[in-house]
Amino acid sequence: MFSISENLRQVRSRLALACAAAHRGVDDVTLLAVSKTCPAEAVRAAHAAGQRAFGENYVQEALDKIAALADMRAGLEWHLIGPLQSNKTRVVAESFDWVHAVDRLKIAERLSSQRPQHLPALNICLQVNVSGEASKSGVAPAELPALAHAVAGLPRLRLRGLMSIPEPVEGLGAQRAPHRELHRWFDKLVQSGLALDTLSMGMSADLEAAVLEGANLVRVGTAIFGARARTGG
């Protein structure tokens, strides 16, 4: 029977097995529950089952949900994981804790200048277009170092790391390849002096591959909340 708490229990046990296989501690990986298209009540149920971090793709839908759950705002961490247009940066800077899909300096500059002073710096991951990705979004690897250093210098942002959305493929070996590549770019940036701590990769279908390649934040929707009526992002 469909139950968010039972699904969460299963995802946590998948994560624990993957961490054991990777010789990593289970606390090393943060589970981000992707609640896009789900009602606020689903977030409430997941929170009651111990989940704290939630990911959303669509800005207006997310703002409605954040407002509906304002009574528990302090116990929730909201991550925008979908694409962000420049006309929406102000509401995002005012309402979210993290933004994962930044791939342009202009968006980062707007988020920094619009982040309210009473809030802590906004956590940022840069989306990288790793090899084999069909999507047009994400910064090209060749342009990543310059973008990362520029974003790291913005006063109201805290650059935390990198994220990617590889093409879905079957099989652990094929799933691992793009995650390994993102980890290599992450290491290069750390070697160049950036204090990054977040590798946001892996979803319902490939979280094991991502954990084996060093992911420390996995974004899981379907495996927690069930299949979505509306897809994409």
Residue 34's DSSP bridge partners are 55
Q: Which stretch binds ligand PLP (CB under 6 A): 62-70, 137-145, 173-181, 218-226?
A: 218-226
* Alpha-carbon span 55 to 233, nearest angstrom: 12
Q: CB of 230: closest distance to ligand PLP in angstroms?
A: 10
Q: CB of 34: closest distance to ligand PLP in angstroms?
A: 4
Query: Under rule CB under 6 A, which residues in 15-54 are in contact with ligand PLP?
Result: 34, 36
Question: Could you say whether residue 220 binds ligand PLP (CB under 6 A)?
Answer: yes
- First-residue to last-residue Cα distance in the chain: 27
Q: Which stretch binds ligand PLP (CB under 6 A): 23-31, 58-66, 69-77, 216-224?
A: 216-224
* Alpha-carbon span 220 to 206, nearest angstrom: 10
DSSP, collapsed to helix, strand or coil, labels residue 127 as: strand
Q: CB of 3: closest distance to ligand PLP in angstroms?
A: 17
Per-residue b/e over 5-31, b at no fewer than 16 CB within 10 Å?
eebbeebbebbeebbeebebeeeebbb
Question: Could you say whether residue 204 binds ligand PLP (CB under 6 A)?
Answer: yes
Q: How far is CA 97 from the centre of its chain?
A: 11
Interface contacts to ligand PLP, rule CB under 6 A: 34, 36, 57, 81-82, 165, 203-205, 219-223, 233
